[in-house]
Chain A
Amino acid sequence: MGSVVFFFRFLGWFSLRNLKRQPGRAVTVLVGIALGAAVFTSVRLAVHASLNSFTKSMDLIAGRAHHVLIRPGGYVPEILIQKIIAHPSIQSASPFLSTYVRPAVTHGDSFLLIGIDPILDRTFRMWQTEKVRSKNDAPWLDLVKFPFTLVMGEPLARKIGIRTGDTIALEHSRQTKSFTVVGMLSASGLALIEGGRVAITDIATFQEFTKLYGSVDRVDIRLKPFSGSEDLNSFRKTLPQGTQLVQPSITRNSGRKLIRAYQLNLSILSFASLFVGMFLVYSLVSLNAASRRKELAILRSIGGSSQMLFLVFLAEGALFGIAGWLTAIPLSSILVKYLLQAVSQTISTLFVRVHVEALSLDIWEIFLSFGVTFITAVMAALQPAREAMSVAPNEALEVSQHGLKRSHKTKHPAAMGLLCFVVSLIFSQMPNVLSIPLPGYAAMFFLFVGFSLQAPWILEKMGHTLSPILRRLAGIPAYLASHYVRSSGTRTAVSVGALLTAVSLFASLVIMTHSFRQTVELWVHQSIGGDLFLTTKMGSINHFRYPLPPTVINEIRRLKTEWDIDIVPSRRFSLMHDRFPYEIDLIDLKVFFQHGDFFWLRGDPKKARNMAIDGQGAIVSEVFSNRTNLSVGSTLETWVEGFLVKLPIIAVVRDYRTDGGVVFYSWRHFNERYYNPQWSGVRFFFKDKGIAPDSAVKKLREEIITRCGENLDMISGKELRRSILEVFDETFAITSVLLLIALIIAALGIATTLTVMVLERTQQLNTLIAVGADRGQVRSMIFWEAIFLVVAGEFTGLLCGFMLSYILVYVINLQSFGWTFIYSVDWGALSLSFPLIILTALAAALPAVRAVFRQSPAMLLRER
């Protein structure tokens, strides 16, 4: 106990008082690590809130069901419920339906409408309504007794400005109808779904509203107590073909998997800021260990053990970790407000619908953020602490307190760096682990470490090669600077390491984003062809589950316009293949290929095109192929609306739809081989490409409304393509912010290193003044040193960035999301941003220049 007390007392005497003597440097490092920790924490919390909201909603919807009966691609006949309940193994069964609707008058935000049998559902899901004093009956009885009544979550009612007793017109794919609000949901159970933006109605009303007479989305089932697998199998045998008994958690788990993959990618990206902050801690602790070498020797000579000195420097790093994390908490609370909205919107757009009202603080996330920050800071202090413990006590006898000892070995770290490149290469070739691209991240890490270890050697070679040239071209200041940088050792190289890490991240993400965008743009213009897209109202948010009514289809078929148009019908089904969600998109491929094409990846395009038109096989997306391991030559077997569909795969194409997995097959041949799948959407192509598309689309849209009514969603091809690219750009806005912060931290690193380099050489610099150099020359020398560091950091960073971008495009994206894209370098953005980074980093040299002449040369040259 006594030794622990002494240790902390000594830490205060030796480390804290020293940090207090240089508050500027300590604060800079603190800000750096706090920014990194704040970014990491807020990103984790923001994604966690979305994950939490999604999981909660899914769990509440799943309720206490043991199993769920579904009919892939379609609806379960309601009549089955009686048969299910009659089975001896079944304790209870309840139908469930849900759809997104929106207020018809305001066309406000959509919300979830749930249709249930209030009596049967009691066993499965918990929900209550607020008591209404004036009425004897509970609102749930009103739902059963009166058609077109609903109960609503309080937050939703508040948002639309509605109260119990009011009526509200709701619009849906099938029709618009008025509902009476008979009660408000108490804030528990189902009322918590999607942050309370939910309404519940009776199943009969739901079916009438959505025209799903006699059909339900699914039937939730509870088995009798002590029912075993034999009972379940006997029950399974009674079920009609085309239906499936699945786990209630299947949708939840697949959604969680996608959000988690996104969370991991953002976490890694945000960790980059912390990683750059680690260089700052290393830089300062290492400076302290080196500049206080004499003090360390004194401590050793008066009885201090080497272990104690090791722990003191490790504790210095730990202190930065703790203080940085504490500073990060208020910063995170500001940052997370911005991120919460951006992240939940991105997840809703890309993966699954989430609605996050407020931040949910999770003790694990807090612990993780503290642990990562703390460990990062301690790791940064590890090497300086080892250097500190190696100080020999006899150094205390050396008279000079100057001349810090530095390692001048550059070949050893460079060789280690080369080894890291090999390790990185090996990791980049390995498959993912438990669906997580861990080897890809390890490859990234070793690439960073490998390049950082090259920094001392690069500086040495750079200084050696350039010094004679610079003496002739830029004079003595540049010559002296090159000499200093050449022999300045590890600590200067660490700053280069920090800059190269930030620059390489910047370059690699610029390249990756550009490659991604270019590929998506090509895909959008090639595969999302069409001049006008039509679907049912709210078709997209409801996964195109409600086909167009036959009257609309007939009107579209009879459509006569002043232009020749091609009509391409399609039908989409949302399905699962071994827990992986995907879509089957039935489309009139013959007409589609006349106007557009797929983005071919595997298989012979010419042959595949002809085979697809003839209905001989299906074309699958890259994501579907990578996730299911079904590629050219395999056959996909699946149930669609009670029909067993067998589709040989003839080609793999690029596709970047929200959740990626798509199977394309000929609508006509599906109709011939199985059944009439109906239309859930239509694309219109103008045959004459010379017409003015905007006005033609407008007239075509008006014509369709005149014939088919307004209960349709239409968007021009131009608008659709633009909106896809807008979503893409919004998604990567978060990435840009994270990158910017990493660059700011790197600039802080440059400022710290240069100031340290100047301060530890104050005597040397003032000796230069004493022997005839003017202040301008000394300043110029420091600027040249900064130029060396920045240029070395930028160019190695650029090189590392190119290699990193390959890992991001071909390893991380493939392993995280199942897609790759065409590698393309944004030379414009790189050439514009790099001079800016150089200027910013050079501006970081200003405090160092100011620091040189803070004291008079006479004072500094006095023997201490």
Chain B
Amino acid sequence: MILTKGLTRIYSLGDAEVVGIENVDLDIAPGEMVVLKGNSGSGKSTLLSLLAGLDHPTRGEITVAGYDLNSASPSELTLFRREVVGMVFQSFNLLPTINVIENTVLPALLAGKTLSESRKKASELLEWLKLSERSNHLPAQLSGGEMQRTAIARALINDPEIILADEPTGNLDSKNGRIVIDLLAELNRKRGRTVIIATHSSLADDPASVIIHLKDGMVIHPEWDR
């Protein structure tokens, strides 16, 4: 369950203030597949970073999977990021010095799981994502699609309830973009995960259960239960 009320994030840039999002009210049930749409600067990434516990709101309330992110301490937020959410980024954000399987197991190890247990889980995920052959390759040796699938494996390693994806197809060609969206949709449909995707693209429109339009930091047109 994701609940926000009057959620606002304002950034200070020198003397000026820039509104990231303003008075956003959301009520997302578990198992939804939500697509956040809007132009650049509309507030999609800001909203996503607040939902992921990467940032603090300026004001308003935000509760994700029972965690009150507004009042959570830095260490509680770290725990939240480890166990509740999995993030997928536009630029993949894999660590360049470690290979595919090491990138995948990293969040599990950070959460205190053993290497053997984590590797087993990672191998299953990589097999599902058709990356088994590439598990010992460094990110620089992968294609864009492979890198994004590795990022999805990493996001899933701790079995998070919620998957947050920020422009996951932005750096991919249309074929790989489709593969990634299909995988996220499969996670939502078959594994019951809540998936929230911020994107310009219309690739995710079909599988989405909710599409939220943002403009200038405000929700302008939620489309529920399509």
Which residues of A pack against B, CB within 8 Å? 2-3, 6, 9-10, 13-14, 17-18, 21, 294-295, 298-306, 308, 392-394, 396-397, 399, 401, 864
Provided the pairs A9-B109, A305-B75 are in contact, do residues A397 and B45 lie with their beta carbons within 8 angstroms? yes
Contact B89 A397 (CB under 8 A): yes
Q: List A contacts of B35 (CB < 8 A).
A: none
Residues of A close to B75: CB separation below 8 A: 305
Nearest CB in chain A to that of B98: its residue: A13
Please indicate which of the listed interface residues A9, A18, A303, A305 has the most CB atoms of chain B within 10 Å of its own CB.
Answer: A303
Q: Chain B residue with minimal CB distance to A16?
A: B97
Q: Which residues of B contact A301 (CB under 8 A)?
A: 52, 54, 81, 87, 93
A-B contact pairs, 18 of them (CB 8 A): A6-B110, A9-B115, A13-B95, A298-B93, A298-B94, A300-B81, A301-B52, A301-B54, A302-B106, A303-B81, A303-B83, A303-B107, A303-B111, A303-B158, A394-B55, A396-B89, A399-B90, A864-B91
Docked-complex contact A401 and B95, CB < 8 angstroms: no
Task: Take A3-B112, A302-B82, A302-B106 as given contacts and tell me if A394 and B98 are in contact as well, using a CB distance cutoff of 8 Å.
Answer: no
For the complex, what is the distance from the CA of A843 to the CA of B114, rounded to whole Å? 50
Q: Is B209's beta carbon under 8 Å from chain A?
A: no
**Those 3 A-B pairs whose CB atoms lie nearest each other, nearest first:** A303-B82, A17-B97, A394-B54
Q: Which residues of B contact A303 (CB under 8 A)?
A: 78-79, 81-83, 107, 110-111, 158
Contacts from B to A (Cβ < 8 Å): 45, 48-49, 52-55, 74-75, 78-79, 81-83, 87, 89-91, 93-98, 102, 106-107, 109-112, 114-115, 154, 158, 166, 170
- Interchain CB contact (< 8 A) of A14 among B52, B87, B97: B97
Residue of A at shortest CB range from B52? A301
CA A308 – CA B115 in complex, angstroms?
A: 18
Cross-interface CB contact of B96 among A295, A299, A300, cutoff 8 Å: A295
List of B residues within 8 angstroms of A3 by Cβ? 112
Complex alpha-carbon distance, A302 and B160, angstroms:
11
A298 B95 Cβ-Cβ under 8 A:
yes
Residues on A with C-beta less than 8 A from B114 are: 2
User: Given A18-B97, A294-B93, list of 5 further CB < 8 A pairs?
Assistant: A10-B106, A13-B97, A300-B81, A301-B52, A301-B54
CB neighbours of A305 from chain B (8 A): 75, 78
Chain B: CB-nearest residue to A306: B74
**In the bound complex, CA of A294 to CA of B96 (Å):** 11
Chain B: minimal CB distance from A347 (Å): 51
From the candidates A14, A306, A393, name the one contacting B98 in the complex (CB within 8 A): A14
List residues of chain A with CB within 8 A of the CB of B78: 300, 303-306
Docked CA distance A126–B150 (Å): 77
Contacts of B170 in A (CB 8 A): 399
Bound CA span A401–B140, Å: 15
Other-chain residue from B81, B83, B96, B154 in contact with A393 (beta carbon distance below 8 A)? B81
Task: Say whether, besides A298-B95, A393-B81, A13 and B102 are in contact (CB < 8 Å).
Answer: yes
Complex formed: what's the CA distance from A675 to B55 in Å? Answer: 93
- CB closest residue in chain B, given A294: B93
CB <8 Å contact, A10 and B54 = no
Question: Which residue on chain B has the smallest CB distance to residue A20?
Answer: B97
Q: Which residues of A contact B79 (CB under 8 A)?
A: 303
Bound Cα distance from A572 to B114, whole angstroms: 79
What residues of chain B lie closer than 8 Å to A399, measured between beta carbons?
90-91, 170
In the bound complex, residues from chain B placing their C-beta under 8 Å from that of A14 are 95, 97-98
Residues of B within 8 A of A401 (CB): 91
Please name all residues of chain A whose beta carbon is closer than 8 Å to the beta carbon of B54 when the two chains form the complex.
Answer: 300-301, 392-394, 396-397
B219 → chain A, closest Cβ, in Å?
Answer: 19
* A305, B77: Cα distance in complex, Å: 9
A32 to B74, CA, bound (A): 38
Taking a contact as CB atoms under 8 Å apart, the answer to whether B97 and A397 are in contact is no
A17 to B140, CA, bound (A): 14
| CB pair A302 B98 closer than 8 Å | no
CB–CB B55/A392 < 8 A: yes
Kindly provide the distance from the CB of A703 to the nearest chain B CB, expressed in whole angstroms: 85
Q: Quick one: given A13-B98, A399-B90, A401-B91, are A302 and B112 in contact (CB under 8 Å)? A: no
**Shortest distance from the beta carbon of A493 to any chain B beta carbon, whole Å:** 23
Q: Shortest Cβ distance from A412 into chain B, in angstroms?
A: 17
Compute how far the CA of A394 lies from the CA of B55 in the bound complex, rounded to whole angstroms.
6
Question: Measured between alpha carbons, how far is A393 from B114 in the docked complex, in Å?
Answer: 24
Residue of B nearest to A296 (CB): B95
Contact indicator A396/B87 (Cβ below 8 Å): yes
Bound CA–CA A271/B54 (angstroms) = 44
**Chain A residue, CB-CB nearest to B155:** A302
Whole-angstrom CA separation of A14 from B91 in the bound complex: 19
The CA of A401 and the CA of B115, in the complex, are separated in Å by 30
CB distance from B114 to the nearest CB of A (A): 7
| Min C-beta distance of B197 to chain A, whole Å | 14
A394→B11 CA distance, assembly (Å): 13
User: What distance in Å separates the Cβ of A79 from its nearest Cβ neighbour in chain B?
Assistant: 85
